[in-house]
Chains A and B, each alone.
Chain A
Amino acid sequence: MSTELIKVTINEQEFEVEKGAKLIEVCREKGFGIPSFCYYGDLALQASCRMCLVRIEKMPKLQTSCTITCTDGMIVTTQSEEIEKAQRAMSEFLLANHPLDCPVCDRGGECELQEMVMDWGDLEERFVERKNAQPEKFLSPIVANDPQRCILCKRCTRVCDEWMGEEAIEAGNRGVNTVIGTYGGWLGCSQCGNCIEVCPTGTLLDGVYRHETRPWEMDQTRTTDVYSSDGMQLSIGSRGGEVHRIVARDRYVNGLNGEFLDVKARFAHGFINSKDRIKTPLIRYKKGGKLIPSTWDEAIHFVGSKLKESGNNVGVVASSRLTNESIFTLKRFATEAVNSNNYAVSDAYDLAPFFDNLSAPLCTHKEIRHAKTILLIGGEPEEEQTFTAKQIRQAVRNGGAKFIVVHDTPIRLAAQASQFIHVNKGSLDAFALAFADQSDATITKKLGAAQTEIDDLLKTIGETEGDFIIMFGGDLSAEAQAVLANVAGSFASDTRRALLHPLPLYNNSVGANDMMAGKKPLEEVLRTSKALLIAGSLPEDKTDLLANKDFVVVQELFETATTEYADVVLPAASFAEVDGTFTNNAGFVQRVRKAIEPIHQSKPDWVIASMIARELGADFGYNFSSTMVFKAIADSVPAYEGLRYPLLKDESKPVQAKYSPVAKRDLSNEFAALRRKVEALPETSEKITETPRVGHKLHRVTTMTGKTDQFHLLAAGNPKPENLLVSPLVQFNLDGTPRLVEMAEAASVNVKDRIDDKETVASKVVLK
């Protein structure tokens, strides 16, 4: 946007505004309220709600301010009798067929229609005719829909189209019968729920939070997502120690992701208050015995005495889902309490090669949105780093960015790509080598792609003016990652900035890598230690290694495969119950805030670790406050130097950890190893031609997501019930098989049971 200033007169006051600014934004910024429904800053213009009408001199009719770009000398009136009449008329029209069932509507209390009508509407209702009644129904286990409440602002369809690229919902029918509908009447999308978020009325509703409480009853806590590494900012709505819902609504939180969240971040919060949470410390006094509930004092004492026996053969494993504070304390536990260098992170994807060879700055999500060229090697952001995927989509769609995908699978995002290099199965390493070392043309044979494709790619990069971003995921080998991270910096030029973006799997993978400097590979730690302190669970294929250990302590939320080997299980607090920080894949250090008190007797992981440490005679100097832990982090981790909680307070201005690009290292060993790996690849290999199913990773049932029933249905293929009026959760077992009795019962639920105006039983209403 140009910085040229022009003069605009609004309500007889003159303002200087940037050229090309939208009139509605300018008016709102200058303090002249303008109501609107269909206008949404990030989406395509619609101009259909007609609420934002203003009078502009020299224009014949009232104009929609959302579609007007400011021009020099424009004279605008936003408040006059004529405009007020128009605004009142529009809100009257909108309310004409809108049911006044606010008491049962889950949006009541934070509904934009309510607010607009209160502020701009008429007191009196002249509409005395019968409303067009339609029943409330389900579009999926997660999305409920009340078409009658719809004001057809089409934010949902635009979000689905522009943010998610899924086009799962669209308007059907015409005129007053227009409804927001789906193809086949059932949502088969990734269930991100962004349509629910942007809906200004109660038309699209959260099926997980359905009829649980009301917005003003809840405490809203700003915090960070616990699933994806994008570090999306969200707001936890809790009431009386119970988490009811998670939203990113901009009235509660204003993070880097705006109102964007994905299905896990938004809906998979059932684990927090799950009845399966471990309630008290559990001790297995005898190997092969039962876990017996105990007290904290006894458990800590027991752990202390057993660990003393093991001396410095104690290994410490931290999950990369934990906060920086917890991981840092666990590392200190290893080095200071048990004097051991055996510490590791239980992450399948080690980021050390990436950060050790960082030759270019980390890119932020905003930079992805405005990038000129994006190169994605492996990974599947639309399933794992959903916000990154959204930014890529918008960069391509709205910013005209070139997007190049190198992948062995035609992932969904590849449909947006300007160039898709489809390589052989498992040969991404070969691409990394070919990309870093362009001298060797024989590699392309292993790749299954023509040399011209790589030439085209390099040409595109060479022509880029602006930001060039390389992203890659954990499906490359460590050597390949090191090589790619190292080579990225060499693409920078005077007109081009090269940026790197990792695609880690967990919310705090980056932080775990920072906190556990000098960590060892997970397997090595598991093999060499006699006793283990494990925070979080191990990947299931690694749990066998825990057999025959002298002593295993596990800090967990739930009983998992790992706790089966544990001698002591200590109840840990979930992310909603602790204060701390997560570091996302853009290096932003963002706050995690305590929304509810720890459930049952659970404690934050860092408190547990420091309690055990004190039992062993090591005092870390912090007992109660995570602020002190973070100060200790800032003092000892270089990238976090100078950071304090108050600096991280404002989620709209996230603070990036200071990762300095390292000098180019000699990577001949890595190159050699990579070359060996590539040479071992088969010459010919069949390509994967099938695009993976939507949600094949997002909808996976894990220890955490599995506590939200809806995810079981999604994982079971999201079956469509006979009667859409009743939640599919009632009609199906969790494995997706029909519950015949309940289904028959649900079949007796008719339209009359689901509409507010009981007299208007629209026999004509047909469910689509």
Chain B
Amino acid sequence: MEIKAIGCEPLQLKRVGMKDSHTLKVYQETGGYESLKKAMNMTQDDIINEVKASALRGRGGAGFPTGMKWSFVPRQSPKQKYIVCNADESEPGTFKDRYLLELDPHSLIEGMLIAAFALGSQACYIYYRGEYRYLIDIMDKAIEEARAANLVGKNILGSDFSCEVYTHTGAGAYICGEETALLSSLEGYRGHPRMKPPFPAIEGLYASPTVVNNVETLTSVPQIIEMGGEAWKKLGTEKSGGTKLWSVSGHVKKPGVYELPMGYADMEKFIMEDCGGMRRPDKKLKAVIPGGSSVYIMNAEQIIGKNVTLDYEGLVEAGSMVGSGGFIVMDETVDVVESTKNLTEFYKHESCGWCTPCREGTDWLVKIFNRISIGEGRPEDAQLLLDICDNIEGKSFCPLGDAAAWPIQSAVKRFPEDFKKWLLNKTNDNGYTANV
């Protein structure tokens, strides 16, 4: 398990590896809460402009510019404003936030407090994934420590800014990682996504202006305030600044969490050198899912020798997306049909049941994959899968439908050989070549 920064100074991972890095003492010794003090001497607009200047983009998956999101909040509104941290990290292949929450809780608290100060909010919520229940104690202790140091609660650092931070866990639903479903769940309702518009920035938690940000997004905020937006942006590219954490798993020698600057050149180098190359040297690279399960799967031809840069634009150009940075590497022993089936089962299980295409479509897809896996596949199934995915994509209520469709679409298109084996020969050998 590697946790390290490559190609840059560790920012997010600055304190990882230090002893007792989760304590306030260590945090403050390493410059913690200085950004908050600095921010509290700035105006609200300055903070938002600084974040805008940093070109920080949401690290949860969609990559929406954070400064823009903040500026949508009507700060003059008489309603309470809320900052909600989306720590519902359920994307298969993604585990970066877990380390931040476990090893550096204070940086999240600090980030939230800065956001709260900038937006005039007095309440912050951290929505934990149900399975991360065991991490809550660490955060609660950190909040208590911060409160004792007058960093959370009434009149923070003697000013008239008061802000409370609360923790809350979900009950184990992937859909609650979607921001509106998270808000529904936080309010105590079924974790169903809500209609947009109104967007959470206008009517979110308890129908009040709300900003929902990923853990990594919020932990970046203190660095931005400390370094200044422009300087932070320079670490990355023009359109997406700073550094990003990648959770690497699969058939590499050194899986782990890596901090890379945005626009880190060459994905091939990252896999083959930084992550130690393939785990079994005699097996070739077959597929990579670069951004957590719900992005397009890439085949080896799209990576090797193509100089794919690791940032939002670079991956889109290469035919995939950054997503939440869950980097899953597969070697040639992997059958893509089976791995896709596995993912589809996940989406069927996690579909909330609100809208028709996602609820019925994922069930149908799983039934087709089940049929294929017992050797009952038919050549026309490939087209059927694509068609069902096409019918789900863009027509579902929330992005979960899209997320379920994309891996299958890309798998069918980019790994036709695997599908041919299953649909035509029902086995894994003998290359019968028909037009799939």
**Touch between chains A and B, by CB atoms below 8 Å:** yes
A interface with B by C-beta (< 8 Å): 45, 47-51, 53, 61-62, 67, 85-86, 89-90, 92-94, 96-97, 126-127, 129-130, 132, 151-152, 171, 173-178
Shortest Cβ distance from B359 into A: residue? A176
Asked whether, in the complex, the Cβ of A96 is within 8 Å of the Cβ of B360, the reply is yes
Asked whether, in the complex, the Cβ of A175 is within 8 Å of the Cβ of B355, the reply is no
Which one, A53, A130, A173, contacts B353 given CB within 8 A?
A173
Asked whether, in the complex, the Cβ of A49 is within 8 Å of the Cβ of B356, the reply is yes
Chain B positions 236 through 248: 1 when the CB is less than 8 Å from some CB of chain A, otherwise 0: 0000000000000
Asked whether, in the complex, the Cβ of A62 is within 8 Å of the Cβ of B395, the reply is yes
Which of B108-116, B307-315, B364-372, B411-419 faces chain A? Answer: B364-372
Contact residues in A for B195 (Cβ distance below 8 Å): 45, 47, 67
Contact residues in B for A175 (Cβ distance below 8 Å): 348-353, 359, 362-363
Which one, A50, A51, A173, contacts B397 given CB within 8 A?
A50
In Å, the complex CA distance between A554 and B354 comes to 58
Leading 10 A-B pairs by shortest Cβ distance: A178-B353, A89-B391, A129-B367, A93-B360, A176-B363, A175-B351, A48-B355, A61-B394, A96-B360, A175-B353
In Å, the complex CA distance between A662 and B144 comes to 71
Asked whether, in the complex, the Cβ of A97 is within 8 Å of the Cβ of B353, the reply is no
In Å, the complex CA distance between A67 and B361 comes to 22
Shortest distance between the CB of B195 and any CB in chain A (Å): 6
Asked whether, in the complex, the Cβ of B384 is within 8 Å of the Cβ of A126, the reply is yes
Q: Is B190 engaged at the interface, CB distance under 8 Å to the other chain?
A: yes
Asked whether, in the complex, the Cβ of B360 is within 8 Å of the Cβ of A50, the reply is no
State the interface size on chain B (CB cutoff 8 A): 29
In Å, the complex CA distance between A608 and B355 comes to 59
Most buried by A among B190, B359, B367, B368: B359
In Å, the complex CA distance between A371 and B317 comes to 58
Q: Is B302 engaged at the interface, CB distance under 8 Å to the other chain?
A: no
Shortest Cβ distance from A85 into B: residue? B391
In Å, the complex CA distance between A152 and B359 comes to 10
Asked whether, in the complex, the Cβ of A50 is within 8 Å of the Cβ of B364, the reply is no
- Secondary structure of the B contact surface, majority rule: helix
Most buried by B among A47, A67, A96: A96
Shortest distance between the CB of A160 and any CB in chain B (Å): 15
In the assembled complex, 11 residue pairs joining A and B whose CB atoms fall closer than 8 Å, in A order, are A45-B195, A48-B356, A50-B356, A62-B395, A67-B195, A94-B360, A171-B353, A175-B353, A175-B359, A176-B348, A178-B359
Which one, A49, A53, A96, A174, contacts B364 given CB within 8 A?
A96
B interface with A by C-beta (< 8 Å): 173, 175, 190, 195, 348-357, 359-364, 367-368, 371, 384, 391, 394-397
Asked whether, in the complex, the Cβ of A176 is within 8 Å of the Cβ of B395, the reply is no
The answer to whether A50 and B367 touch (CB under 8 A), given A97-B360, A151-B356, A176-B360, is no
Asked whether, in the complex, the Cβ of B356 is within 8 Å of the Cβ of A90, the reply is yes
Contact residues in A for B349 (Cβ distance below 8 Å): 175
Most buried by A among B349, B350, B360, B397: B360
In Å, the complex CA distance between A712 and B361 comes to 45
Asked whether, in the complex, the Cβ of B396 is within 8 Å of the Cβ of A97, the reply is no
Give the total number of A-B pairs whose CB atoms are below 8 A apart: 89
Most buried by A among B173, B352, B395: B395
Asked whether, in the complex, the Cβ of A86 is within 8 Å of the Cβ of B355, the reply is no
Asked whether, in the complex, the Cβ of A96 is within 8 Å of the Cβ of B395, the reply is no
Contact residues in B for A127 (Cβ distance below 8 Å): 364
Given contacts A48-B356, A53-B395, 17 further A-B contacts (CB under 8 A): A48-B355, A49-B356, A50-B355, A61-B395, A85-B391, A93-B364, A130-B367, A151-B356, A152-B353, A174-B173, A174-B350, A175-B349, A176-B348, A176-B351, A176-B360, A177-B353, A178-B353
Contact residues in A for B357 (Cβ distance below 8 Å): 50, 89-90, 93
Shortest Cβ distance from B196 into A: residue? A67
Shortest distance between the CB of A504 and any CB in chain B (Å): 40
Asked whether, in the complex, the Cβ of B391 is within 8 Å of the Cβ of A93, the reply is yes
Contact residues in B for A151 (Cβ distance below 8 Å): 356
Most buried by B among A45, A61, A86, A176: A176
Asked whether, in the complex, the Cβ of B348 is within 8 Å of the Cβ of A47, the reply is no
Asked whether, in the complex, the Cβ of A174 is within 8 Å of the Cβ of B395, the reply is no
Contact residues in B for A93 (Cβ distance below 8 Å): 356-357, 359-361, 364, 391
In Å, the complex CA distance between A90 and B354 comes to 13
Contact residues in A for B391 (Cβ distance below 8 Å): 85-86, 89-90, 92-93
The answer to whether A48 and B360 touch (CB under 8 A), given A129-B367, A175-B349, A175-B351, is no
Which one, A45, A49, A174, contacts B355 given CB within 8 A?
A49
Shortest distance between the CB of A138 and any CB in chain B (Å): 23
Most buried by B among A51, A67, A89, A94: A89
Asked whether, in the complex, the Cβ of A86 is within 8 Å of the Cβ of B359, the reply is no
In Å, the complex CA distance between A151 and B173 comes to 22
Shortest Cβ distance from B190 into A: residue? A171
Shortest Cβ distance from B175 into A: residue? A174
In Å, the complex CA distance between A94 and B394 comes to 17
The answer to whether A86 and B364 touch (CB under 8 A), given A152-B353, A171-B190, A174-B173, is no
Shortest distance between the CB of B383 and any CB in chain A (Å): 10
In Å, the complex CA distance between A90 and B367 comes to 18
Asked whether, in the complex, the Cβ of A96 is within 8 Å of the Cβ of B354, the reply is no
Shortest distance between the CB of A133 and any CB in chain B (Å): 13
Shortest distance between the CB of A67 and any CB in chain B (Å): 6
Shortest distance between the CB of A53 and any CB in chain B (Å): 6
In Å, the complex CA distance between A174 and B354 comes to 8
Shortest distance between the CB of A173 and any CB in chain B (Å): 7
In Å, the complex CA distance between A93 and B362 comes to 10
Shortest distance between the CB of B376 and any CB in chain A (Å): 10
Contact residues in B for A61 (Cβ distance below 8 Å): 394-395
Shortest distance between the CB of A65 and any CB in chain B (Å): 13
Shortest distance between the CB of B163 and any CB in chain A (Å): 32
Shortest distance between the CB of B392 and any CB in chain A (Å): 8
Contact residues in B for A94 (Cβ distance below 8 Å): 356, 360
Shortest Cβ distance from A129 into B: residue? B367
In Å, the complex CA distance between A89 and B390 comes to 9
In Å, the complex CA distance between A50 and B352 comes to 15
Contact residues in B for A53 (Cβ distance below 8 Å): 395
Shortest Cβ distance from A130 into B: residue? B367
In Å, the complex CA distance between A89 and B396 comes to 12
Asked whether, in the complex, the Cβ of B354 is within 8 Å of the Cβ of A48, the reply is yes
The answer to whether A174 and B367 touch (CB under 8 A), given A89-B391, A93-B361, A126-B384, is no
Asked whether, in the complex, the Cβ of B362 is within 8 Å of the Cβ of A176, the reply is yes
Shortest Cβ distance from A91 into B: residue? B356
In Å, the complex CA distance between A175 and B362 comes to 9
Shortest distance between the CB of B111 and any CB in chain A (Å): 31
Contact residues in B for A47 (Cβ distance below 8 Å): 195, 355, 397
Asked whether, in the complex, the Cβ of A129 is within 8 Å of the Cβ of B394, the reply is no
Asked whether, in the complex, the Cβ of B363 is within 8 Å of the Cβ of A97, the reply is yes
In Å, the complex CA distance between A85 and B348 comes to 23
Shortest Cβ distance from A95 into B: residue? B360
In Å, the complex CA distance between A89 and B175 comes to 23
Asked whether, in the complex, the Cβ of A89 is within 8 Å of the Cβ of B362, the reply is no
Contact residues in B for A92 (Cβ distance below 8 Å): 391
Shortest Cβ distance from A128 into B: residue? B371
Shortest distance between the CB of B168 and any CB in chain A (Å): 19
Asked whether, in the complex, the Cβ of A129 is within 8 Å of the Cβ of B356, the reply is no
Most buried by A among B355, B361, B384: B355
In Å, the complex CA distance between A51 and B360 comes to 14
In Å, the complex CA distance between A126 and B384 comes to 8
Shortest Cβ distance from B191 into A: residue? A174
Asked whether, in the complex, the Cβ of B397 is within 8 Å of the Cβ of A96, the reply is no
In Å, the complex CA distance between A67 and B195 comes to 8
Asked whether, in the complex, the Cβ of A89 is within 8 Å of the Cβ of B363, the reply is no
Shortest Cβ distance from A98 into B: residue? B360
Contact residues in A for B368 (Cβ distance below 8 Å): 129
In Å, the complex CA distance between A89 and B395 comes to 10
Asked whether, in the complex, the Cβ of A50 is within 8 Å of the Cβ of B351, the reply is no
Shortest distance between the CB of A19 and any CB in chain B (Å): 17
Shortest distance between the CB of B78 and any CB in chain A (Å): 18
In Å, the complex CA distance between A130 and B395 comes to 25
Shortest distance between the CB of B182 and any CB in chain A (Å): 15
Shortest distance between the CB of B190 and any CB in chain A (Å): 7
Shortest distance between the CB of A226 and any CB in chain B (Å): 40
